[in-house]
Amino acid sequence: METIRQVHMMQGRCEELRRRGKRIAFVPTMGYLHEGHLSLLREGRRRGDVLALSIFVNPIQFGAGEDFANYPRNLQRDKELAVAVGTDLLFLPEKEALYPGGFATHVEVSGLTEDLCGRSRPGHFRGVTTVVCKLFNIIHPHVALFGCKDFQQLAVIRRMARDLDMDIQVLGMPIVREADGLAMSSRNVYLAPQERVQALALIDSLRLARRLTVAGETAAAVIIDAVQQRILREPAARIDYVRICHQDTLREMDSITADSVLLLAVYVGTTRLIDNHILGEEIDP
């Protein structure tokens, strides 16, 4: 695995690979890799001649009081995992390389970012789209892979790529879960043991919503109420939002269709967890 830290060197290396006709698959991450990230890398390995991974804890997507300073990091372990899944290029930019003095340009997607996580985390998606746009410009991949757990983020990046005519295929990959159903996340390490148990209310509520849908319930308000009641049975849980939206536009829906996605953001203790399920699809028992 080749490790590159300088922007111009990464650009040059990827340009040279493209000239040679190599197909580049890219997975952008903030590190502290888990099986969810590794599943993206394995799929990227299948889809590209060259597999590129970036690790960069992006400061401009964290708001005041969020966990940037304490965000989990373990670069040595990340490198070992990246090698094990066949990563060819590891991009490790420094903050000053991506945001040099005088940096004044940001990318913002309207319409998809103001609600849901955007309401709770003002400026978050502007930080995400700005850094992803920069990484796309540096690496110029043929395909970029993202997890569907961050459902709103995936929708925003797809819209950015489409609106800005980026010649990149943006792929969303299935959520990877722990054996008990909790969606894998780097932030799961923040959960105390009892909070970890209570966090299972998220997957329980998704399963409940799916059962109601299969039974014929089509009223979004009924499903949302049932989901909220399940989550709030846990003393450590505090709901940020529970919404049923159209999976492409993220607009709220009153009735369930095949395009409906249930989106959750829940604090368990001080840890904010997100999860989702497209209600027209199967879910594990």
- Would the CATH topology of 2-173 be identical to that of 186-277? no
Q: What is the pLDDT of residues 97-155, one digit of tens each?
A: 999 999 999 999 999 999 999 999 999 999 999 999 999 999 999 999 999 999 999 99
pLDDT above 90 for 204 = yes
Give the containing element (helix H, strand E) for 47. helix 35-47
Question: How does residue 168 score in pLDDT terms, banded at 50, 70 and 90?
Answer: very high
Distance CA 115, CA 122 (A): 9
User: Average pLDDT in the 24-41 region?
Assistant: 98
User: Average pLDDT in the 244-273 region?
Assistant: 97
pLDDT of residue 232: 98
Q: Where are the domains of the chain?
A: 2-173, 186-277
Look at the block and give the residue holding tokens 């009735």: 255
Q: Which of 8, 34, 37, 246 is catalytic?
A: 37
pLDDT of residue 238: 98
Phi/psi at 36 (5° precision):
-60, -45
> Domain 2-173, what architecture?
3-Layer(aba) Sandwich (3.40)
pLDDT of residue 105: 97
Nearest Cα to 144, choosing from 91, 99, 184? Answer: 91
pLDDT of residue 41: 98
CATH code linked to domain 186-277? 3.30.1300.10
Continuous H helices in 103-261 = 117-120, 124-139, 151-163, 193-198, 201-214, 220-231
Mean residue pLDDT of the chain comes to 97
Q: Do β-strands 260-268 and 271-278 pair in parallel, antiparallel, or remain unpaired?
A: antiparallel
User: Average pLDDT in the 262-268 region?
Assistant: 98
Portion of the chain with pLDDT greater than 90, in percent: 96
Instruction: Respond yes or no: is residue 246 known to be catalytic.
Output: no
Q: What is the pLDDT of residues 229-245, one digit of tens each?
A: 999 999 999 999 999 99
- DSSP state at residue 22: P
Nearest Cα to 67, choosing from 238, 220, 269? Answer: 269
